[in-house]
């Protein structure tokens, strides 16, 4: 996965009936069902939130990702899908490093990611992260981001950024790009730090007590949760001091994305609520 040397893999599993929920207040044993896998040596668990993705999920690409990288495990989170997503994820979980978590109702991407990170972080792994189910961030870029994260002792947070640089292949619809630049300007104000792109959907986080604290309560909004997560990490000293924003070489604005322009505009208004909540964090939990 590149020339950099990764940290030693820890022993971990992504079991069907995860038994460590009592250590994570944000989890409810009755709210989900986790497919059990045997003990494996993994270093990174990637959460993939899924809602009605039966027709779009490229299972061959995901399977290839884990087969090329023995230290990577995938945890798909079905966010109460109404199509055949749950059945598809159950079949994918036959692979020893591909598991599924099923939420009973659609709570939105923010909650699916949070629940997935809590489940992933309950195991002896060094890093957890999340990527979008449509693989707008291609597997090669996911591998590159993980390579940077696991070879950088001074970093606790690594995330991709959709910056169009010379030689990169970053394709975005114009309307989404313009809305994204407005959103990024407002997010800078909320975070008190400059970030070019908070919403790229490819983030990797060191599995630490600080991260667990940041995941204890639900996020304020299903679309701007990335900003709130970075803000929470800022309140515990991780962001921006131990974070790095990495320009992606390839990114594709997929058709069929559930993030509409209108939803993006609405999420801008939610940043005011996020800012108020961050001012009370972590005292409110």
CATH number of domain containing 209: 3.90.550.10
Residue 213, in any domain of the structure: yes
Give every CB contact of residue 8 below 8 A, 6+ residues apart in sequence.
43
The tens digit of pLDDT for each residue in 46-63 reads 999 999 999 999 999 999
pLDDT > 60? residue 274: yes
pLDDT > 50? residue 139: yes
Query: Percentage of the chain with pLDDT > 90?
Result: 66
Return d(Cα 235, Cα 233) in angstroms, integer. 5
For residues 202 and 137, the answer to whether their CB atoms sit within 8 Å is yes
Residue 111, in any domain of the structure: yes
Query: In the structure, what pLDDT confidence band is assigned to residue 18 with cuts at 50, 70 and 90?
Result: very low
pLDDT > 60? residue 240: yes
Residue 229, in any domain of the structure: yes
In terms of Cα–Cα distance, which of 73, 41, 38, 78 is closest to 57? 78
Residue 3, in any domain of the structure: no
pLDDT > 50? residue 10: no
Q: How many domains does the chain have?
A: 1
Count CA atoms within 13 Å of residue 64 on its CB side.
Answer: 10
Residue 285, in any domain of the structure: no
Print the domain residue range for 138. Answer: 10-280
Residue 201, in any domain of the structure: yes
Q: What is the mean pLDDT of the chain?
A: 85
Mean per-residue pLDDT, 79-108: 96
Residue 4, in any domain of the structure: no
Residue 264, in any domain of the structure: yes
């Amino acid at each position: 996965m590149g020339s950099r040397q990764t940290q030693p893999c820890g022993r971990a599993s992504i079991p069907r009936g995860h038994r460590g929920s009592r250590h994570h207040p944000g989890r409810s044993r009755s709210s989900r069902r986790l497919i059990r896998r045997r003990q494996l040596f993994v270093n990174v668990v990637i959460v993939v939130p899924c809602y009605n993705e039966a027709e779009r999920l490229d299972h061959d690409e995901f399977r290839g990702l884990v087969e090329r990288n023995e230290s990577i495990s995938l945890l798909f989170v079905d966010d109460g899908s109404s199509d055949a997503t749950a059945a598809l994820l159950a079949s994918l979980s036959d692979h020893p490093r591909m598991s599924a978590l099923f939420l009973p109702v659609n709570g939105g991407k923010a909650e699916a990611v949070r629940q997935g990170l809590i489940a992933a972080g309950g195991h002896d792994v060094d890093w957890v992260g999340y990527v979008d189910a449509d693989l707008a961030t291609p597997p090669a870029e996911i591998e590159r981001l993980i390579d940077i994260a696991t070879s950088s002792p001074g970093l606790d947070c690594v995330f991709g950024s959709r910056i169009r640089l010379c030689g990169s292949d970053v394709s975005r619809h114009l309307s989404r790009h313009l809305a994204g630049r407005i959103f990024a300007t407002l997010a800078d104000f909320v975070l008190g730090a400059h970030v070019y792109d908070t919403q790229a959907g490819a983030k990797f986080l060191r599995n630490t007590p600080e991260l667990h604290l940041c995941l204890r309560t639900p996020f304020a909004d299903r679309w701007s949760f990335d900003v709130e997560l970075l803000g929470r990490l800022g309140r515990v000293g991780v962001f921006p001091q131990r974070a790095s924003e990495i320009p992606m070489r390839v990114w594709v604005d997929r058709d069929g994305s559930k993030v509409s322009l209108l939803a993006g505009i609405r999420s801008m208004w939610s940043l005011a609520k996020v800012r108020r909540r961050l001012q009370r964090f972590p005292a409110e939990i």
